[in-house]
Structure 1
Amino acid sequence: MFKRVFQRSRRVKDEAESDDDTDPMVLKKKVEVKENSKVETDYTIHEVIGSGRFGEVCRCTEKATSKQFAAKYLKAGTEDERESVANEITIMKRLKHPRLLQLYDAYLFKDEYVLIVELITGGELFDRVIDENFDLTESKCEKFMTEICEGIEYIHSQNVLHLDLKPENILCLTPNGYRIKIIDFGLSRSNAANLRVMFGTPEFVSPEVLAFDPVGPPADMWSVGVICYVLLSGLSPFMGKRDADTYVNIARVNYSFNYSEFDEISTEAKDFVKQLLIKDPK
């Protein structure tokens, strides 16, 4: 099955789903930060639909068009916070692709940024993994992986590294479909020689990040391999009882397919994961 995942000319998709899942206007829109301007001038803010380390996300409606979006609130009280959000905006402005969450507008007022992004209502890919009523077969996994790899291929073609890929940062466009958007570019960086980072999510971080070695596209592809393992089995390949145990497993590339969840998984799918979970790829 997985032989088609990296073939750009052959896409695996559900027949009921359309390629036109991103408004062309959103993809073409040039975004400039509107400083000293309140988001409420142009948008009606509705209920909170999410929250995280960054702040809250609210549903909103653009007054001029009546189109719905999501408003992501980000603190910018310190110089570090401002630089972090400015970097996220710069990265998102460069990434114009249907498989990536698109930035539509941006505001800075006093000590707070508000990013206006596409409103995605299908839930996190993580929700599919833990949903006992959703039968996540190898065939369905392949469809998700094709979508994810298409997005990552584009990100890397723009000389950008995501650096925090995980099921929670992949949104499904619909509750039952396979089309996705990669989100959260808060930790993303422009790819550069000798780029080193010391952040990420423990279960999905690559060995070179742990070792504070230079990182490149293989760091993201390692995370893609972990995501694929999780989708195929519902298990996390490196997770230990503590983060320290998880880091040791990652550093030693200590994982296994010797679980009943892999009994019906093809050799080809396992090989796909193996080709991504490689330490010190050259």
Structure 2
Amino acid sequence: MSAVKCNTQVLKRTFLCTKGLIYQLKAAAAQELDELCFLSAQSMPNLKVSEHFRMVKLLGEGSYGKVMLAVHRKRGTPMALKFFPRQSTSLTSFLREYNLSLSYCTHPSLTRALGIFFSTPSYYVFAQQAGLYGDLYSVIVSEAGVNEDCVQRVMSQLSGAVTHLHSLGFVHRDIKPENIFLCDSSCRWVKLGDFGLARAIGTTVRAVWYESPFCTPEVEPAKEAEKEMERRQNEGTEEEVEDIWISVEPCIDSWALGVLVYCLLTGCFPWEESTHDDRGYRKYKEWFDREAERDEKMRDGEWRGEEDADDYIIMERKQRDNPPPSQFEGLSPLVMTLLKELLHPEPKHRGSPEEILSYLGGPWLMETEREEKRKAEEAEKEARKMRERGGVEEELLREGRGER
């Protein structure tokens, strides 16, 4: 057996072992979470809220329940208390969210539980770090977004937070501006929260379609199934539609992060829903398919003259040759390349959240790119003037020394 073939087999076995180890670690994390939930269920106290906490104000509410800013009466510590109605919340789902936030959200941009959990006659409650400056949704200006530096700063933090969560074997599944909380008024420190939909990687769940740009395109069959069920109900047919099941994978979060980038930069959404019925998404998919075809030709060597070109120049050329849909007007080639990675229609080819880090520092808006080019041109002009002035002064010195 040749050395090359032997090394290839060793590398292949190493890769398979490493991959298997990763899956074992992720499975262990899911099992550990179940064990934590079982143990905490045995020790959950019953408390009267007013005896232990002073309520300050309502921070937010939704289908899950409500979040109140509170101060612990003995410690004087401010915290957020998350209330889950017992009538509509299972103890299992409450304990899963609490324990996941407490034990796994150790990244500085993940909202962490504080080790206080209890029940009342009406609610299950746990305490978590408080986002005192509201959520990201509250600072997004409609049809304008937020400052580009702020966008890159926020996405850098979220990239690290989501990558950390994935490394521990969990997918958030509900990334959106309302679930990203501000620790200061300038978005210099943000925290991703609300882990009610988080599940272990590889878990099989029923596909649920909902009308939102954050809903991934692979769930579109669930929309069709929903339509079919409505049709049968209207016709009085008792035959049920078979449920569609999908695997929970990190690519679900990648899609949401891509939509979030667009939302922060523009103050809009790229489409209402990621299905072929939506005109905005359909235009994007057509553009994406053309891009994929061009990339394939480049890999096959049909496109020449790109080998020595700078990466950004290649991005600019591609954007000129295949302009993005109108809703992406004003976005730079750099961020369009990032969006193409995160918003890949095929989940198995979707980029990871970590890839966001590779696109930081450059212009994400055409306006920023033009301003950077203008400044570079001005700097070059100034440098040229200094060089010319230096040459004249050198010439005068030489004349003064009688060298001419």
- Give the TM-score category using the shorter length: 0.7 to 0.9
- RMSD, aligned CA: 3.1
Distance 1:172 1:207, change over 3 A: same
1:235 — aligned with what? Answer: 268
**Alpha-carbon separation, structure 2, partners of 1:247 and 1:260:** 11
Letter in structure 2 aligned against 1:231: L
**Aligned partner (choices 96, 118, 124) of residue 129 of structure 2:** 118
In the TM superposition, 1:67-146 aligns within 5 A as 67-77=77-87, 81-93=90-102, 94-104=104-114, 105-130=116-141, 136-146=146-156
**Residues 132-152 of structure 1: CA deviation (Å, up to 9, x unaligned):** 8x8723332111110111110
Distance 1:111 1:69, change over 3 A: same
Q: Is 1:275 matched up with 2:275?
A: no
Give how far 1:42 is off: 2.8
**Alpha-carbon separation, structure 2, partners of 1:50 and 1:59:** 9
Q: Is 1:258 matched up with 2:291?
A: no
Give how far 1:97 is off: 2.0
Q: Is 1:226 matched up with 2:226?
A: no
In the TM superposition, 1:1-282 aligns within 5 A as 32=40, 34-77=44-87, 81-93=90-102, 94-104=104-114, 105-130=116-141, 136-192=146-202, 194-198=204-208, 202-211=212-221, 212-239=245-272, 245-246=277-278, 249=281, 253=285, 257-259=324-326, 262-263=329-330, 265-282=331-348
Letter in structure 1 aligned against 2:262: Y
TM-score by length of 1: 0.76
Distance 1:131 1:74, change over 3 A: same
Bigger drift between 173-182 and 188-197 goes to 188-197
**Alpha-carbon separation, structure 1, partners of 2:287 and 2:256:** 14
Q: From the two aligned structures, give the one with the greater helix fraction.
A: 2
Give how far 1:247 is off: 10
Q: From the two aligned structures, give the one with the greater strand fraction.
A: 1
Structure with more contact order per residue of length (Cα contacts < 8 Å, sep ≥ 6): 1
TM-score by length of 2: 0.55
**Alpha-carbon separation, structure 2, partners of 1:197 and 1:35:** 35
Distance 1:102 1:269, change over 3 A: same
Q: Secondary structure at the match of 2:90?
A: helix
Are 1:145 and 1:228, in contact at CA under 8 Å, matched by a contact in 2? yes
**Alpha-carbon separation, structure 1, partners of 2:218 and 2:327:** 30
Identity in percent: 24
Q: Secondary structure at the match of 1:106?
A: strand
State the aligned residue count.
248
**Alpha-carbon separation, structure 1, partners of 2:337 and 2:275:** 27
Unaligned runs of 5+ in 1: 1-30
Larger radius of gyration: 2
Bigger drift between 38-47 and 138-147 goes to 38-47
